[in-house]
Chain A
Amino acid sequence: MNDSMSIPHLILNASVVVQLVMILLLAASIASWVVIFQRSFALSRAKKAQKAFDERFWSGVDLNELYRDVPENHQAQGSEHVFRSGFREFNRLMPKTRSSEAVLDGVQRSQRVALSREEDSLNANLTLLATVASASPYIGLFGTVWGIMGSFQSLSMAQQATLSTVAPWIAEALVATAMGLFAAIPAVIFYNRLSSIASRLLGEYEDFAEEFHSILHRNLQGRGGNQTT
């Protein structure tokens, strides 16, 4: 009884459609777990980088120094990326125009571009998790329904329908649903968790962009006052 009702045995004895569904679900599960691990590592790294840059930025260091200090081949990330693109735009516009509003507009625009890119990278692949979470139960259910259909078709030929003749078929069919849920449950949980972490990080980036913008605005006001006087 134990041998014939073991899960590997049931998987191997299932019909072709059910087996295809199971393979699809296994692939979806593996993909979702790959995304889960990759996103978890990436987001934890982004969090660390954000914390480090925050400390450095608010340590009272000169902004030009901070901008120049960063090595060229270093790929800026998160709020650092926002800061660098904003500051680069600011430095480029400063010699060309006297209007502080135009400079601030340009800086804001470039910061918005950087922010949207960061958002993109933070939420990358999370849509796959959402798809797996929402679709795999239905796929598994399809496999189960198909398997039970097959079981009833074969049952119609049997003389006596006892529980022991029906049980293996139904167990076989239910394995598909189990696999769908096995793929969906971690995907749902980690999608919620990872997207919440990403949105919090994005909120921190936006806060930093606003603060940086206000610093630049303050500087421009002071410089503009000096130039007018």
Chain B
Amino acid sequence: MAKRNRRVGYGLPVVLAIAVHVVALLMTMLRLPDSEPTPSSSSVVQATLVSDVTATDQAQYAKEARARAAQRQAEEAAQQAAEQQAQEAAQQAAEQQAQEQAQQQEAARQAAAEQAEAASERRQQAAEQAAAERAEAEKQQQAAEAKRQAEAEKQANAKAEAEKKRQAEAAAKAEAEKQQKAEDEKKRQAEAAAKAKAEKEKAEKEKAAEAAKAEAEKKRQAEAEKKKAAEAEKKRQAEAAEKKRQAEAAEKKKAAEAAAKKAAADALSDSIANEQERIANAQQSDQASNSFINLVKRAVEDRWHLPANADNALVAQVRVRLGPSGELLAASITRSSGNPSFDRSATQAVEAAAPFRELQQLDAGLQRRFRDFNLKFTPGDVQ
């Protein structure tokens, strides 16, 4: 035994044994960094819409979308008219907008009509479209009437303002005349006083001729000076009146320019508002679709029983086709995970979660979109 131990030492075996344990430990440790970077998304089931609708369907969707957009525009026009009544907005801008909208709607209608011809759709759809167009036309007429009313009121407002201005000008003129008259009277009184003085002085002159002549000359000079001063004042007043008139004209011009600018700004802001409303509508439809997707996801997640041997890396895709009222028509595996029990669990989860009655609450277009969608199953964070 002692000989054997000397021959086959324990150094190498000890090193090897420790190496074995270190490797075993590393294998348990190394699985951690592998599993950690996997996406830790809270959603276990990921849904994606299937975009394999046929070309004719797409054309129908496009038409419907256009019809909806036209309806939205008509609604926006009505809202704008209401807003304009309250505001002191420019009439021309509104008319231009109305014209533009009308043109847009007409263009949309023409496009829709062309598309209808091209697609050679069913008569029912055509009838529906015609009905939609009639509704649009009615809405447009309503909008136009509202605009006309708005214009009439605006005109009335403008006239009232013009009258007020005229009255204000007249008052200003009257005041100016009064002032002039008052000044004239003062002058006359002053002259009369001067004349009286002169007569008295003449009487005195008779008494004292030499002094009187000198005084008369002085008086004449004074009168001449006074007359000159009065003339200068008159000139000044006339100049002031002209200046006032010029200033008023400039103010009027400025007011007109400001009004034009305001009208342009209103037109711009209105177009921006239209755009924003369109975006908001798009977001709303997106939100509706997202909420439906989330609903489906949650329902499927709740009923999903993960098989015990499922690996976190497994991914299965299930194509779900729904009936018009949300009932399940078919749930088929489009991309297998390679684990049959995992695939089965995914389809069973969809079958258990069906029917999705919430589909009925969506718009017709969205409904058609969600009649066919994909669900991606990843175990993720399921414990």
In the complex, what residues of A have CB within 8 A of residue B35's CB? Answer: 2
Stretch in A34-42, A63-71, A86-94, A218-226 with 4+ CB within 8 Å of B: A34-42
B55 at the interface (CB under 8 A from A): no
Q: Which single member of B10, B25, B36 contacts A2 (CB below 8 Å)?
A: B36
- 3 closest cross-chain pairs (CB), A and B: A33-B17, A37-B13, A38-B13
Contact B1 A45 (CB under 8 A): no
A95 to chain B, nearest CB (A): 29
B14 at interface, CB cutoff 8 A? yes
How many Å lie between the Cα of A23 and that of B214 in the bound state? Answer: 143
User: Which of B212-244 touch A at CB < 8 Å?
Assistant: none
Q: How far is the CA of A118 from the CA of B3 in the complex (A)?
A: 10
Q: How far is the CA of A45 from the CA of B20 in the complex (A)?
A: 22
Cβ proximity bits A24-58 to B, threshold 8 Å, 1 near / 0 not: 00100111011111100110010000000000000
Determine if B3 and A121 form an interchain contact, defined as CB atoms under 8 angstroms apart: yes
Chain A residue contacts of B313, Cβ below 8 A: none
Of the residues B3, B13, B14, B381, contact of A1 by C-beta under 8 Å: B381
CB atoms of A8 and B28 under 8 A apart: yes
Band of interface residues on B = 20 to 34
Is A182 in the interface zone, CB < 8 Å from B? yes
Q: Is the CB of B21 within 8 A of A30?
A: yes
A174 to chain B, nearest CB (A): 14
Max chain B Cβ within 10 angstroms of own Cβ: one of A7, A8, A45, A120:
A7
B161 to chain A minimum Cβ distance, whole angstroms, is: 74
**A residues within 8 A CB of B3?**
75, 77, 121
C-alpha spacing A35/B29, complex, angstroms = 26
Instruction: Tell me, in angstroms, the Cα distance from A42 to B20 when the chains sit together.
Output: 19
Look across to chain B and name the residue whose beta carbon is closest to the beta carbon of A46: B4
Q: List 15 A-B contacts (CB under 8 A).
A: A3-B36, A6-B32, A8-B28, A26-B21, A33-B17, A33-B20, A37-B13, A42-B8, A45-B8, A75-B3, A120-B1, A121-B3, A121-B4, A124-B4, A182-B24
Which A residues between 169 and 190 are near B, CB-CB below 8 angstroms? 182
**Closest residue on chain A to residue B17 by CB atoms:** A33
Chain A residues touching B, majority SS: helix
Known: A31-B17, A34-B16. 13 other contacts (CB 8 A): A6-B28, A30-B17, A30-B21, A33-B20, A33-B21, A42-B4, A75-B6, A75-B7, A77-B4, A120-B1, A163-B383, A164-B383, A182-B24
| CB-defined contacts of B53 to chain A, threshold 8 Å | none
How far apart sit A31 and B5, CA to CA, in the bound complex (Å)? 16
Residues from chain A with a CB closer than 8 A to the CB of B308 are none
Nearest to B16 among chain A residues (CB) is: A37
If A30-B17, A30-B21, A33-B17 touch, whether A121 touches B28 (CB-CB below 8 Å) is: no
**Cβ of B18 < 8 Å from any Cβ of A?**
yes
* Contact assessment for A117 and B1 in the assembled complex, using a CB-CB cutoff below 8 Å: yes
Which residues in window 149-201 of A have CB below 8 A to B? 163-164, 182
A12 to B16, CA, bound (A): 25
